[in-house]
Amino acid sequence: MSFLPYALAAWLFFVGLYGIVTSRHLVHLVVCLGVMQSSTYVLLLAIGYRTGKKAPIFTSGVPTKVGAVDPVVQALTLTDVVVSVVASALILALVIEIWKRSGKLDPDELGKQET
Amino acid sequence: MSPRVRLGLFGVSAAVLACLFVWALTGLPQFGAFRGEYGRILNSAAGPERHVTNVVSAVTFDYRGFDTLGEEVLLFTAVMAVALLLREARSGDERRADAVRSDVVRAVGLFAVGPTVVMGLYVAAHGYLTPGGGFQGGVATASGLVLLYAAGRYRAYRAASPKTLIDFAEGTGVGTYVVVGLAGIVVGGSAFLENVVELGVKGTLASGGTIAILNAVSGLAVASACVLIFHEFLEELMTAK
């Protein structure tokens, strides 16, 4: 079952993308974007995993003997999480603006001309 | 575009993308059998070189410290953008009453503020020793402050996080990162973000050299960024008609 983590990443990505494509509400769209972004965390961590190895934290000295998983992808995931959080905050701020100006939250309604 | 056409388009492009994804996966190592030399070398080098026990923090604040500077600037820019978008458009100052009515929620929530902030600071301070770091600890600390609003009063939350102080903390957090980086060139006489501080004893709080400083200022920047973002959204809620 070694492909399962990769399959999970793919599933999260496509489920999120499906949500964005069919979204009828801008806040729902931001949540879907969050789901999509979490697929990258799963993918990064899955790539760096080594069977039977510990976390790359050597406080107790244990992993020095056993070996540790890849620390670089973990640091990249940290960056990824921070970026996704601030991106969500920024988009939500835009959503508030859109709502204030047009009173609409359905992305399909936004393009339509005012009558 | 009708929903059906859109769904059809999505189906076709998703299928193409899925094929590319599977093709890309065949080039990846088997799950659990990653052989990346970079990470393996860092795992054995970070301890002796930088006197830290958390290699992820060493990667974040030293080996890939320049990336983290980019990330800090991104965080700063995004927070500024949120503030610009929401601050400008705000009008009226009708204050809504606080939502919390239950004494139990209030008591338990307010009781949790202290422990949450202490835990956040602990996670941030020990970032280069145990799991955690400035980013994670910063968010936890900020959430302690947010609890003040969620379980207590908006006014108490505002009093605990004055906007001028938070703005200043956010700028200081990002600015100090750059200053520490430049110190590597000026004081250390070598490269940007080169270590210029005593490395200290491995496994104690006084270790890691610049990693410790960068970890702390990142924590400051992230905590104030979270509080700032929350400020702006909350202000929006409080002044909404």
Confidence of residue B96 (pLDDT cuts 50, 70, 90): low
Q: Where are the domains of chain A?
A: 4-110
pLDDT digits (tens, 9 = 90+) for B59-76: 999 999 999 999 999 999
pLDDT digits (tens, 9 = 90+) for A13-23: 999 999 999 99
Classify residue B5: in a domain, yes or no.
no
Distance, in Å, from the CA atom of A75 to the CA atom of A89, rounded to the nearest integer, reads 22
Classify residue B14: in a domain, yes or no.
no
Q: Does A58 touch chain B (CB under 8 A)?
A: yes
Query: Are the C-beta atoms of residues B201 and B207 closer than 8 Å to each other?
Result: yes
Whole-number mean pLDDT of chain A?
87
DSSP string, A18-76: HHHHH-SSHHHHHHHHHHHHHHHHHHHHHHH-BTT-B-SB-SSSHHHHH-B--HHHHHH
A59 to B236: CB separation less than 8 angstroms, yes or no: no
pLDDT digits (tens, 9 = 90+) for A102-113: 888 888 888 775
The Cα of A79 is separated from the nearest Cα of chain B by a number of Å equal to 7
Q: Which two tokens stand for residue B225?
A: 């960024």
pLDDT at A34 over 80: yes
Strand partners, B207: B200
Classify residue B167: in a domain, yes or no.
yes
Distance, in Å, from the CA atom of A79 to the CA atom of B67, rounded to the nearest integer, reads 9
What is the per-residue pLDDT for B199? 83
How far is the CA of A41 from the CAs of A70, A75, B25, B36, B78, in angstroms? Answer: 14, 11, 16, 18, 21
Residue type for position B9:
L
Classify residue B8: in a domain, yes or no.
no
B81 to A93: CB separation less than 8 angstroms, yes or no: yes
B233 to A57: CB separation less than 8 angstroms, yes or no: no
A93 to B233: CB separation less than 8 angstroms, yes or no: yes
What is the per-residue pLDDT for B90? 58
Range of the domain at B95: 53-239
Nearest CA to A41 out of A29, A49, A52 is that of: A49
CATH class of residue range A4-110? mainly alpha
Classify residue B11: in a domain, yes or no.
no
Burial class (CB in 10 A: 0-12, 13-18, 19+), B191: exposed
Residue A62: closest C-alpha in chain B: B53
Nearest CA to B136 out of B199, B218, B236 is that of: B218
Lowest mean pLDDT across A30-44, B69-83, B117-131, B189-203: B189-203
Classify residue B78: in a domain, yes or no.
yes
Say what the ipTM of the complex is. Answer: 0.84
B229 to A22: CB separation less than 8 angstroms, yes or no: no
Centre a 10 Å sphere on the Cβ of residue A10 and count the other Cβ atoms it contains.
19
Number of domains chain B is built from: 1
The Cα of A67 is separated from the nearest Cα of chain B by a number of Å equal to 8
Quick one: residue B208, left, alpha or beta (phi over 0 = left, psi -120 to 50 = alpha)?
left
pLDDT digits (tens, 9 = 90+) for B146-197: 888 888 888 888 888 888 899 899 999 999 999 998 988 888 777 888 888 8
How far is the CA of B157 from the CAs of B135, B142, B146, B161, in angstroms? Answer: 22, 11, 7, 6
E strand or H helix that includes residue B63 = none
Percent of chain A with pLDDT over 90: 50
